[in-house]
Structure 1
Amino acid sequence: MTDYTALAERYVAAFNETDPAARRARVAELFTDDARYTDPLADVAGHDGVDGFLAAAQQKLAGWEFRLLGDVDAHHDRARFRWQAAPPEVHAAGSEAPVVGFDVVVTDGEGRIAQVHGFLDRFPA
């Protein structure tokens, strides 16, 4: 049985991994070979696509931290959770994060992510 809270934590950690080789290893561990990641800013597939998207997010939000926001809700092979991204000082101050999202992941039989359906609740223009 998949621990979806741990999976969501590892997923968010992949967004925070700035070392390209370590990030790539996290992607390979977390995602199926043919995984598809879709949100308002991206529609990518496979390890190369997911890794490229994470690298682009890190570049756009350089120095920011991604964190889980609230509990993970899961059933069958699906989980949903909210996350936020902000500079570390915003998190430390307890201020509202400028970026907040909501993701639904679908896993395969081994607990790896096969699909991500992402939504942005708040994203600066």
Structure 2
Amino acid sequence: MTSEVKFEPRVSVFLTCEVIDRPRSREASFTGLEACKHEEKTMESPSSLADRYVAVWNESDAERRRSKIVDLWIPRGRHYVGDRKVEGYDALEIRVRESYEKNVRDNANRFRAADDARRVHDVVIFHWEMLPASGEAVLARGLEFLFVDGSGKIVADYQFFPA
């Protein structure tokens, strides 16, 4: 029995500084290594990124929410949850607004980042929690898996719920 496997061609390629700065000589090797160390030192901390990410989903003001989306994602940034995929600022804005209206505005909840954010090269992961606006009981918990670019902006966001 044989089966044919088809792969969808990939449009995006994620490269880290180790690939981009591949050294050609021993001297270049040191320079490339220093560039990678510099990139890691200047990139936003994973916990700060997680806090800014969660703040978007709690934001009540539409203009501030849009501004936070632009600050976090690249223009064609993607967000995946379940079978749903959204891409670009307009689609991200709709997705975040719908979640805000349902979970925060209408059901009086809030989101917070758990204290477990970490980064390896161009990937940041963390858990988030949904709680009552005036309480500490965790009602829901999810996992975010973010691909970020060299400037720390989100290229792709994979949300696993429940985590």
Show structure 1 runs of 4+ deviating over 3 A.
none
Separation in 2, partners of 1:73, 1:109: 16
Once the two structures are superposed, residues 80-118 of structure 1 have per-residue CA deviations (whole angstroms, 9 ceiling, x without a partner) of 100011222332xxx2x2221001001011110110011
Scaled by the length of structure 2, the TM-score of the pair is 0.68
Once the two structures are superposed, residues 8-55 of structure 1 have per-residue CA deviations (whole angstroms, 9 ceiling, x without a partner) of 110001111110000000000110000000012631001111111110
Contact 1:42 1:53 in 2 (8 A): no
Scaled by the length of structure 1, the TM-score of the pair is 0.88
SS at match of 2:150: coil
Q: Which structure 2 residue ranges, 5 or more long, are not aligned?
A: 1-41
Output the amino acid matched with 1:13.
A
Separation in 2, partners of 1:103, 1:24: 20
2:125 corresponds to which residue?
Answer: 80
- Tell which has more relative contact order, 1 or 2 (C-alpha 8 A, sep 6+): 1
Separation in 1, partners of 2:67, 2:123: 23
SS at match of 1:12: helix
1:118 corresponds to which residue?
Answer: 159
Paired residues in the alignment total: 118
1:19 corresponds to which residue?
Answer: 61
Quote the sequence identity (%). Answer: 26
Output the amino acid matched with 1:118.
Q
Task: Work out which of the two has the higher radius of gyration on C-alpha atoms and give 1 or 2.
Answer: 2
Q: Which structure 1 residue ranges, 5 or more long, are not aligned?
A: none
* 18-27 or 3-12, larger mean C-alpha shift: 3-12
2:100 corresponds to which residue?
Answer: 58
SS at match of 2:135: helix
1:43 corresponds to which residue?
Answer: 85
